[in-house]
Amino acid sequence: MKCIRILLLALNCMAVFAGNGQVRTVDVLSEDWKFSRLKQEGAFDISFNDQSWQTVSVPHDWAIYGPFDKEIDKQVVAIEQNGEKIPTEKTGRTGSLPYIGEGWYRKEFELPYFKAGKKVILLFEGAMSEPQVYVNGKKVGTWNYGYSYFYFDITNQVMTGRKNLLAVHLANKGASSRWYPGAGLYRKVSVIVKNKESIDQWGTYITTPVVTADEAKVKIKTRVSAANSFLVTDIMDDSGKLVSKDTARKIFGNEFEQDLAVLRPRLWSPETPVLYKAVSRLYADNELKDEVSTSFGIRTISYTADKGFQLNGMTRKFKGVCLHHDLGPLGAAVSKAALRRQLRILKDMGCDAIRSSHNMPSLEQLELCDEMGFMFLAESFDEWARPKVKNGYNLYFEKDMEKDVVNLVQATRKHPSIVMWSAGNEVPDQWGFEGAKRAKRIQDIFHREDPTRPVTVGMDQVQNAMKYGFGAVLDIPGLNYRLKLYEEAYKTFPQGFLLGSETASTVSSRGVYKFPVIKAAQQQYDDHQSSSYDLEYCSWSNLPDDDFVMQDDKPWVIGEFVWTGFDYLGEPTPYDNKWPSRSSYFGINDLAGIPKDRYYLYRSRWNTQSPTLHILPHWNWSAKNRSEKGREGEVTPVFVYTSYDSAELFVNGKSMGVQKKHHATPQNRYRLMWTDVKYEPGSVKVIAFGKDGKPAAEQLMVTAGKPHHLKLEADRSAIVAYGRDISFITISIVDKDGNLCPVSDQSLQFNVKGNGTFKAVCNGDATSLEPFHLPTMKTFGGKLVVLVQSSKKAGAIELNVNGRGLKKGHLSLKAVNL
């Protein structure tokens, strides 16, 4: 219920703010858009008839509905970043979903608060891609980068007393991405009406340059468009209590600068994500002209050779993950409910940092990281001037780079979660002295817009970066993999520390185990799955344990960002030249958001608040029928991921011995492994021992019986009735005693009644070609996740699930007004 209250508070605040028609209104254009994929000459014109077009809501991703097709954006290429020399056919590189082509969006909107003396801003938080924007038939602007935030002043194009028409044309080229980019107006679109004498868009910049236990100095710079004006700013704490106030009457150019004191400040951190709010009121000629509320946190950051990274004066290492922008079955369309679920899952794992890979994050993601306590590495580009793909950002770099960086920084620098900027990822420009100059130029732009945060680049060509000075010019040298070069890079670069900006790239498929159990790079199997024993990785990378050693033993390594926190659409390495395979295997959690075994390996090390004890593999290895051969009597290693240092394993009550963590190999240091266990149906139990040698925890796993019924578990049973909230229901096939049937993969059908709708379904299988938006799908590893979306009316929601030979599943939810 706490999450619902927070969400409703945010919605209510927006409504109150928007209701103040005297100074500023913000209207999010979400409903009743018209959309068409066809080429439409004249679609920007007011008289154009769009009645036959599809009605959609925004955020919207037109490509996520499929179908999956291996011919879509099939690229014949040698991926240099992966060390490939010979071009091969890559069928699933961008998800095999139909993102390529043109799309038109049209939306009528009214401006009841618009009148003479007002200004109208049209704000886009992301449009994929190359948007051309028209208002009432007139072009008001264009942009190129699909991940950028941008806005236009449309004051001279809008009309009063009648509806206005917004039309947006988008065009996605093939060979423009290395992963699934999505398509359409996939982030929010808003219309802001304010006075001409007003605070500029993204014009409030808050920093906390001095923080002590007794007092924090809060510096606020506010850009305005107003003469004869003054600015009044109030700071409230998280309970709404006024804690500081200041009036600025002297303006420097177009900017006010204020220094306010907050006594006995409560500091923002992942453990205590305390937020304050600054309310700035602009007066001109003694009349209130504008009001803007800005959430911020009080915290300090520093990066030094002797102390590494410090937050609020305390040294710590990043326990981070990289995340692509798609949300699995929702595609690229932003959903705050889906983002919140991801962060809750990562929080339980002990993760404390996110890297937006390899693009500008959604504003919703940053708001949640502020609120829930995640440090953030905000990334900008995957390419600079030198291309990775034919139609990538290299086409726009020289003319657009600076304005894209400026918009990124100005739109997001208020967020306390952001502790570092990334100017790029594995850019080919690392080679040659020109690349080092380019890195310095981009970094200088970041510094100009925000002097308080350092800049990094995820480098994969580390030897070139050392040779040509590329890594030396950066504030923070970020190394993507290349563990064998860590020591040399540390000695070569002048900073005195380095960051694991991208680590591991271990691959696995949830609930899939391969035999014999071996450590292997780029391993492939006929079923296009990877083993969940977590010993398989990419040719350029390594296993998690190898990074753990560096993080634990090298004080000059300031943390890591694992590739990746969740599976994502596209880049199905090691099967990117096989079909079917259309999504990644890198995730600690699968595409449906279900934790893989690897989740518990990271949790055992990162979550220091609650213990971890997890057994793998499953224990269902008997033959399904007489024509098959089971694993009875065959070696079936058992691994245990645990925060405890030792444990004893029992199979059907017989001890397999005690294992203790030791330093013989990285795997022995972080995993408990019984490598010679032979399979026999029944039970597997592990008893973990505390530091006193006494039993501290135990876990039991049994061989499941025949599939009997469905188990339904919702992440939230009550969701908000505003038409966009989502409950994620994990459905498991279980036996009569409630044990998961991990090898039962069969089709289920879903029906939603009442005050909600079926939104999507996902099973986490990277080879599945079933569409996400249809109410039927096979389970994978005995599980899948159904997404149920609220309506705009409060009331009961009923989910019914059917599967052949299974007892019907039922779950009651409710949509609430709070």
Active site residue 379: no
Cβ–Cβ under 8 Å, residues 643 and 349: no
Residues 227 and 714: their CA atoms lie apart, in Å, by 55
- The closest of 538, 392, 569 to 83, measured between CA atoms, is 538
Tokens 């030897």 found at? 463
Question: Do you find a cis peptide bond into 67, omega within 30 degrees of 0?
Answer: yes
Active site residue 634: no
Residues 13 and 240: their CA atoms lie apart, in Å, by 12
Q: Strand, helix or coil at 7? A: helix
Q: What pairs with residue 230 in β-bridges?
A: 283
Residues 302 and 454: their CA atoms lie apart, in Å, by 9
539-550 burial code (b ≥16 CB/10 A, e <16): ebbbbbbbbbbb
DSSP secondary structure letters along 16-38: HHHH-TTTEEEEE--S-EEEE-S
- Beta strand segments in 433-481, E: 455-459, 476-480
Rounded to 10 degrees, the C-alpha dihedral 580/589/760/513 comes to: 50
DSSP secondary structure letters along 634-686: SB--EEEEESSSEEEEEETTEEEEEEE--SSSHHHHH-EEETT-B--SSEEEE
DSSP secondary structure letters along 702-728: E---S--EEEEEES-SEEETTTT-EEE
Cβ–Cβ under 8 Å, residues 505 and 528: no
Angstrom distances, CA of residue 293 to CA of 221, 245, 397: 14, 14, 34
Those residues whose C-beta lies under 8 Å from the C-beta of residue 725, and which sit 6 or more positions away, are: 7, 337, 719, 789, 790, 815
Please give the backbone phi and psi of residue 814, each rounded to the nearest 5 degrees, phi first.
-150, 145
How big is the CA angle at 422 (ends 418 and 428), to the nearest 5 degrees?
Answer: 170
Structure tokens at 652: 């059907």
Structure tokens at 299: 């915290």
Structure tokens at 52: 């036959």
Structure tokens at 25: 């209104």
Say how many residues make up the chain.
818
Please give the backbone phi and psi of residue 15, each rounded to the nearest 5 degrees, phi first.
-65, -45
The active-site residue, picked from 449, 502, 571, 648, is 502
Cβ–Cβ under 8 Å, residues 763 and 780: yes
Radius of gyration of the chain (CA): 27
- Give, for 133, the enclosing helix (H) or strand (E): strand 132-135
Q: Strand, helix or coil at 75? A: strand
Cβ–Cβ under 8 Å, residues 194 and 111: no
CA 477, chain centre distance (Å): 23
Residues 772 and 331: their CA atoms lie apart, in Å, by 9
- Give, for 401, the enclosing helix (H) or strand (E): helix 397-412
The active-site residue, picked from 383, 426, 571, 680, is 426
DSSP secondary structure letters along 782-817: TEEEEEEEE-SS-EEEEEEEEETTSBPEEEEEEEE-
Catalytic residue positions, numbered = 426, 502
